């Protein structure tokens, strides 16, 4: 099973999103983080399960929230390049890797 690491900018996107949901409803921000962890657990076991969005990057969708995890499979880990809302400008994360 592969571990994961977030780029600092992806980590900020994740926590900003969790904070946004927390401010709207108690417990909702935590639920977003649980959903994220669930996706990362699946990717740890099946890293190639997400479809390619470029030559080096893949995408995985959260189950209960409109967010995508953009990631790169490295030898020892999964590198999360972006955590983006599905309505955000497509490909805004290109050039991060």
Domains delineated in the chain = 3-85 (3.30.2310.20)
CA distance 16 to 49: 26
CA distance 95 to 78: 17
**Structure confidence at residue 1 (pLDDT):** 86
DSSP string, the chain: --EEEE-HHHHHHHHHHHHHHHHHSTTHHHHHHHHHHHHHHHHHH-GGGSPBSSSS-EEEE-SSSSEEEEEEE-SSEEEEEEEEETTSPTTTTTT--
**Structure confidence at residue 88 (pLDDT):** 83
Contact 49, 61 (CB under 8 A): no
For the ranges 37-41, 49-53, 66-70, 84-88, the lowest mean pLDDT is seen at 84-88
97 band by pLDDT with thresholds 50, 70 and 90: confident
User: Where do we find the tokens 């996107």?
Assistant: 13
Is the pLDDT at 55 greater than 90? The verdict is: yes
């Amino acid at each position: 099973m592969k571990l994961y690491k977030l780029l600092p900018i992806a980590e900020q996107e994740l926590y900003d999103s969790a904070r946004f949901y927390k401010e709207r409803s108690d417990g909702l921000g935590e639920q977003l983080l649980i959903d994220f962890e669930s996706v990362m657990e699946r990717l740890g076991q099946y890293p190639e399960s997400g479809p390619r969005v470029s030559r080096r990057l893949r995408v995985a969708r959260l189950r209960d929230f409109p967010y995508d995890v953009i990631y790169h499979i490295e030898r020892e880990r999964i590198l999360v390049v972006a955590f983006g809302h599905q309505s955000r400008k497509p490909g805004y994360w290109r050039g991060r890797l």
